Amino acid sequence: MRLFDTHCHFDFDIFQDDFDSQLKSAHEQGVSRFVIPSIGSSNWAKMHQMATDHTDIYYALGMHPYFLDQQSIDELPTLKELLNQRGNQCVAVGECGLDSMVEVDMTLQEKVFIEQVRFATSCQLPLILHCRKTHNRMLQILKQEKFQYGGILHGFSGSYQQAMQFIELGFFIGVGGVITYPRANKTRQAIVRLPIEKLVLETDSPDMPLNGYQGKPNHPKMIGEILSSLASLKGMSKQTIAEIVWKNSNSAFGICE
Q: Which parts are annotated binding residues for a divalent metal cation?
A: 7, 9, 95, 130, 154, 204
* Distant-in-sequence, close-in-space partners of 17: CB < 8 Å, separation ≥ 6: none
Name the phi and psi angles at 145, rounded to 5: -85, -5
Helix-, strand-, coil-residue percentages of the chain, each rounded to 5: 50, 15, 35
* Alpha-carbon gap, residue 159 to 156, rounded angstroms: 9
Binding-site residues sit at 7, 9, 95, 130, 154, 204
Nearest to 60 by CA among 125, 121, 108, 12: 125
* Alpha-carbon gap, residue 130 to 157, rounded angstroms: 11
